[in-house]
Structure 1
Amino acid sequence: MKLGSTMRRHRGLTIGAAIVALLLLVGVGAAVYADYANTYDLDEERIAFQDGAQRLDGVLAKPTRGHGPYGLVVLVHGDGAMNATNDGFYRPQMEAYARAGYATLSWNKPGVDGTPGNWLDQSMDDRVREAEAAIAWSRSRPDVDHARVGLWGASQAGWVVPKVAARTPDVRFVIAVSPAINWLRQGRYNLLAELRADHASQARIDDEVRRSDRTRQLIQEGATHEQYRAALGDAADMPADRWAFVRKNFAVDASADLARVRVPVLLMLAGHDVNVDVAETETEYRRLLGGRAELTVRHYPGAAHSMVRKDIEDSRLDTYFTAIFAPRDLFAPGYLGDQRRFLAGR
């Protein structure tokens, strides 16, 4: 009995050790594959430039093949506290640009990853000047082909990119991803779209619209943050710096600037966009650019606002594992390839 018990124990220990070894092997293999999946065919250089007194830290990502000079895509962020690579989210498209012979220039927003300042202190005109400072900096680079410089902008950048393109001769093309036209209309669309997606009752929708209307009234009257909090009580969900940011920018509209754009534009629109009314955006881009600038419109029926596949975005687990093991597959089919082909044709 003792001998048999000992043998069973040894067999159990052997099986347990094998399972541990197998798990370690799988873990190491997964880590190696994740590292491979997140390795990009790019040569990244840390850079810094000045926008007046403001220092901006960023990245210049260049193709690994050839010696340049390369065309340049200048990235203009959407809303939020973003660093130069958007925590790696931009790298698949940077790689797509590199394969078309283009470098990418991007930078941290003020206050992000050690860059001084606070991005919530900016107006859209401040962001325009920032992008123009980036383009001016690029002129000092012998590895940049200044006849092939363009802008990529997403979401909130829809109020920045058209103005830069209209008044900066260096800009030879624009890639506009999920841009809005009018700040207030976009905000109302977003509110109603999110409520519908949440299957909100009509009573809740009516309450939220009343709160939104009261907030708009206070913004247009120039109310302080304290007055906003006093008026809305517990429903006042904007912190002070966000309130100041909205007060600076609520009146922006891209129409006048779009009407002055004369360079080729690639407009990319998502089929599941709850942030931006893509029907209005397409109508206005066609109306304002028609006959004056070459416009290419691409629709991605399976994409959310960020151009991530909607089926992936709906699952945190799918988003997590795709970002680790197949980051290029986060994006809607065609999104990266369409940009590469657009750039190759410039």
Structure 2
Amino acid sequence: MGRGRRRLLWALVGVLLVSGGLGGIVVWQNTYALREERVVLWHDGHRLEGVLALPPAGDGPFGLVVFVHGDGPVDATHDTFYRPLWESFAWAGYASLSFSKPGVAGSEGDWLEQSMDDRAAETLAAVAWARSRPGIDGRRIGLWGASQAGWVLPKAAAKDRRLQFVIAVSPAVNWLRQGRYNLLTELRREGADRRRIDKALRRRETTLRLLRQQASYETYRAAVGDTGDVTPGRWRFIAKNYTADAVADLRAMRNTPVLLVLAGHDVNVDVTETEAVYREILPASTLTVEHYPDATHSLVDHNTERSPWRLTATAVFAPRKLYAAGFLDSQARFLRRTGPGEGAP
């Protein structure tokens, strides 16, 4: 779900609460069977603020799911949208650990200065911190990540072979092919004609040429004119990461159990390519693929995401139903199959 859509959603939430006087129902629906603890991780000289979400009862030791965010300035709870996932994992006997990105919600640093290698190192620092934590079973730690995390998860799993599993939601394989797919899909969805598509592709080729030349932001802006949402910081981030490709890291972590989750209405990622690459590289014995034909890139129901009012009402009154039907339960089942969680409530 895009950042603009989330801002609109929460603005509409306020309208609903003020006009409807339904605060009690909202509080009940947004109360989760979790024990949340604010935690701190020091990494690369920066303080990262996070949340450790434990099952509602028991001392453990619990298995653990470490969250790896997608693109953008994401806080530890992803504007609360992670909590239904945390709750589903808690029922499987697993805790969840998530840190706000550098520069977001109290975390120090700047996420736009990170490469995918930097993000993988940060993820492994979180895993190492968790292994020393009382109540966490260091033998039963895995990763969950969405979208851009598709380039981080394999890197981390390739370097730490003790990780028990990886859950990859809507991951891409190759940064450049993903960008082209997204550009063309968005244009076609808008009904763009051939002339507009050709113009967009020429602009894209200009951008790629400048990236290969390591051009400055000023040179980029002079060449393309309107840069849209590409700020100087975003340009540096793209320059660090535009060559990202997951294939080599997937090969290096090929014995790690993987749940690959793909959506039928994904305009960001070519899910056909992603599935083909994962099936080619990873052994069938370690790979589980699940399709959600009616879901978007964020695994929200397609019809729900298309309607701002329906999206808002669902987020307020039934937030667990934001996700595609069966999505939450299937991930919990995957964890139980991979390794039963001790201390499950």
Scaled by the length of structure 1, the TM-score of the pair is: 0.90
Q: Which secondary structure state, in structure 2, belongs to the residue aligned with residue 234 of structure 1?
A: coil
Structure 2 residue 307 is matched with structure 1 residue 307? no
Rounded Cα–Cα distance in structure 1 between residues aligned with 2:262 and 2:231: 31
- The answer to whether structure 1 residue 274 and structure 2 residue 262 are counterparts is no
| CA deviation after TM superposition for structure 1 residue 199, in Å | 1.2
Say whether residues 1:180 and 2:172 are aligned partners: yes
Q: Deviations over 1:303-340 (max 9, x none)?
A: 00000001011011111111010000100011101101
The one of 15, 19, 32 aligned to 1:40: 32
Amino acid aligned to 2:98: S
Match of 2:278 among 274, 285, 290: 285
Correspondence for 2:117: 125
Matches within 5 A, 1:183-198: 183-198=175-190
Give 1:102 deviation, angstroms: 0.1
Identify the residue that residue 109 of structure 1 maps to in structure 2.
Answer: 101
Conserved 8 A contact 1:159-1:180: yes
Provide, for residues 81-129 of structure 1, a one-character-per-residue CA deviation record: whole Å limited to 9, x for no partner: 0000001000000000000000000000011012111110101010010
Would the aligned equivalents of 1:229 and 1:236 in 2 still touch at CA under 8 Å?
no
Q: Which amino acid aligns with 2:267?
A: V
Match of residue 316 from structure 1: 308
Where does residue 210 of structure 2 map in the other structure? Answer: 218
Alignment of 1:7-46 (within 5 A): 27-28=20-21, 30-46=22-38
TM-superposed CA distance for 1:74, in Å, is 0.3
SS in 1 for 2:264: strand
Counterpart in 1 of 2:7? none
SS at match of 1:300: strand
Counterpart residue identity of residue 284, structure 1: V
Mapped to 2, the partners of 1:25 and 1:313 lie a distance apart of 23
Normalising by structure 2, report the TM-score.
0.91
C-alpha contact 2:260 2:288 (8 A) present in aligned 1: yes
Cα separation, 2, equivalents of 1:107 and 1:236: 29
> Whose RCO is larger (CA < 8 A, sep 6+)?
2
Instruction: Give the deviation of 1:290 after TM superposition.
Output: 2.5
Name stretches of at least 5 consecutive residues in structure 2 with no aligned partner: 1-15, 339-345
Conserved in 1, the CA contact under 8 Å of 2:258 and 2:287?
A: yes
Sort the Cα spacing of 1:183 and 1:56 in 2 relative to 1 into closer, same or farther, 3 A: same
Instruction: Give the Cα–Cα distance (whole angstroms) in 2 for the partners of residues 236 and 316 of structure 1.
Output: 24
Letter paired with 2:282: L
The count of aligned residue pairs is 322
Asked if 1 retains the 8 angstrom alpha-carbon contact of 2:161 and 2:256, the reply is no
Equivalent of residue 194 in structure 2, options 184, 191, 202? 202
Structure 1: tracts of 5 or more residues without a match: 1-22
In terms of Rg, which structure is larger?
A: 1
The 8 Å contact of residues 99 and 340 in structure 1, kept in 2 or not, is answered as yes
Q: 1:7 maps to which residue?
A: none
Q: Cα RMSD over matched residues?
A: 1.6
Contact 1:44 1:62 in 2 (8 A): yes
Q: Distance in 1 between matches of 2:228 and 2:35?
A: 46
> Which one of 320, 323, 327 corresponds to residue 335 of structure 1?
327
Q: Partner amino acid for 1:46?
A: R
